[in-house]
Amino acid sequence: MKLLRIVLLALPVSAAVLLGASHFLPAEIDVQQAVFLQQPPEEVYPYLNNPTEWQRWSVLNKQHDPSMIHLYGGPLQGKGARLQWSGDRIGDGQLLFTESIQPGTIAYRQSQPGDTSAILGIFTLQAHKGGTQVVWRQQTALRQTPLAKLQGVLQKYKMRTEAEKGLQGLQKLLGVRKLKS
C-alpha cells in the first residue's frame, strides 16, 4: 500500500517537472555536420544535387529500410527536383530542392504527410587545398507545446545521426569511386 501511494505521488510530480523543464528547451532544432572529401566541389556536387543519387549515400536507401520505395519528380537535378519515399522503418516523406548554385550550395525543404513543420536543409561545399569541405545544416521549428519540445530532443538526435551516417556514406561512396577510376 505504501508503494502504491509513493507511485501515485511520484507521477504528478514527475509530470510537473517535465512540463516545467520543457519551457527551457529550444523552440527549434539546428543540426550541423561536416566532412572533408578529397574530391573537388565539382565532383561532389552532382551526388547532392540529384535526388536519384541520394539512395547511394544517405539513409534513404534499401540497406537502411528494405521496404523503401522512391519516386522522383520535376527536373532530374537542381531547383525543383523532388524525391518522395515510403518505407516501414523510415516512414513517408518528401524532399524538394529549393536552391541550387553550382558547385557550392544546395538547399531543400523536407516534409512529412500531415506535418505542418518542415526541415530546411542546406549543403555548402567549400574548396580547400586537396578537396572539399561539405557542411550539412538542417533546421526546423518546433510547435510551442511542452510535448513537442520534449520530442524535439529525440528528433534532434535522429537528425544528427542521419546526417552523420549520410556524410559517412558520401565519403565512402566517393572514396570507393576514386579507387575504381
What would the mean pLDDT of 138-165 be, rounded to a whole number? 89
Q: Is residue 105 pLDDT above 70, yes or no?
A: yes
Q: What is the DSSP letter of 40?
A: -
- Cα 40 to Cα 172: distance, rounded to the nearest angstrom: 15
Q: Is residue 19 pLDDT above 70, yes or no?
A: no
- Residue ranges per domain, the chain? 25-180
CA 31 and chain centroid, separation: 8
- Cα 22 to Cα 178: distance, rounded to the nearest angstrom: 47
Partners of residue 82 on adjacent β-strands: 73, 96
Architecture of domain 25-180: 2-Layer Sandwich (3.30)
| Mean pLDDT (the chain, rounded) | 88
Partners of residue 175 on adjacent β-strands: none
What is the value of pTM for the model shown? 0.83
**Who wins on pLDDT, 109 or 17?**
109
Q: How many CB atoms lie within 10 A of CB 57?
A: 20
Q: Are 51 and 83 in contact (CB under 8 A)?
A: yes
What is the percent of the chain with per-residue pLDDT over 90, rounded to a whole number? 66
